[in-house]
Structure 1
C-alpha cells in the first residue's frame, strides 16, 4: 500500500489538483486498491473550503474527476500515517519541517523532484543550479494550465517510480 499526502499552502489549488490527478492515474491503471491519496494545507486560511474553481474547471476540461474535498490543515501527528508527503514549493517544505520538527524519515519530497532530468517538461523541472523548481501557485498566477502541466507530469513520473 502506498500512502501519499499532497501538500500546498491552502489546500484548494495545487494539492487538491495533485490528489485528483494521482487518484485518476492509479484508477486508470487499475491500482486504486494499492493507494491512499489525500491532500492538506500548511495554513488555516482556507479551512473547510472546496477546491478552487480554477482547479475544478481545469480538471473538468481535461477529464479528471473532481472528488469531494474540503481544505484541511496538516497535523504534526500524521507524519507516521504517510509514506510520502509531497509538497509544491520550498515554502511548503520549510513549513512541513517546522510542523514535523524535521523530517527524520525523509518522507517530505518536492513534487517536481519526481520528474527525471531528461523529461520533456518545459520549463524544466530543475533550475540551472540543479535545485528542483517549485510548482507555481495559481492562486497568485491565475495560470491553472501551467500548474496542471507540472502536476500531471510529476504525478505520472511519481507513479512510474513507485511501480518499479
Structure 2
C-alpha cells in the first residue's frame, strides 16, 4: 500500500507544485504517491506559474503537466500526510478538519 502525501499552499501554482515535483523526483513511486493543492480556488485548472515550471526544469523536474486544484475535506481521507507551506495554510487546512485524526495528518513542511 502506498503512502499518500499532499503538499498544500495558497494558490497551488508556485510552492506546492514545486514541492510535489521535488518529492516525486526523490521518492519511490511504487511506495509514495504525491499530489498538491491550494487552500484558495483562484487558479483551479491552470498549470503552475511559468517561473515555477522554469525553476523545476532547471533541476530536470517537469511540473508542466500539473493542474491547480483546491484542497477539500475529502483530502483528509485520501492522504496520509498533508504538508502545508506556511502557518496561514496550516490554519486554513486545520479549520476544515472534523476530528483529531485528521488534524494529526497536517504538518508545516518546514
Normalised by the size of structure 1, how large is the TM-score?
Answer: 0.62
For residues 53-132 of structure 1, the aligned pairs below 5 Å read 53-101=50-98, 104-105=100-101, 106-112=104-110
Q: Distance in 1 between matches of 2:84 and 2:6?
A: 8
Q: Distance in 2 between matches of 1:58 and 1:68?
A: 15
Q: Between Structure 1 and Structure 2, which shows a larger proportion of helix residues? A: 1
Q: Distance in 1 between matches of 2:75 and 2:7?
A: 13
In the TM superposition, what is the alpha-carbon distance from 1:67 to its structure 2 partner?
Answer: 4.9
Q: Distance in 2 between matches of 1:18 and 1:96?
A: 17
CA RMSD of superposed structures (Å): 1.2
Normalised by the size of structure 2, how large is the TM-score?
Answer: 0.91
In the TM superposition, what is the alpha-carbon distance from 1:24 to its structure 2 partner?
Answer: 0.6
Q: Distance in 2 between matches of 1:34 and 1:59?
A: 23
Matched position secondary structure for 1:20? helix
Gaps of 5+ in 1: 113-164
Do structure 1's residue 14 and structure 2's residue 11 form an aligned pair? no
Gaps of 5+ in 2: none
Q: Distance in 2 between matches of 1:77 and 1:25?
A: 26
Greater RCO structure (CA 8 Å; 6+ sep): 2
Q: Between Structure 1 and Structure 2, which shows a larger proportion of strand residues? A: 2
CA contact (8 A) 1:40 1:74 kept: yes
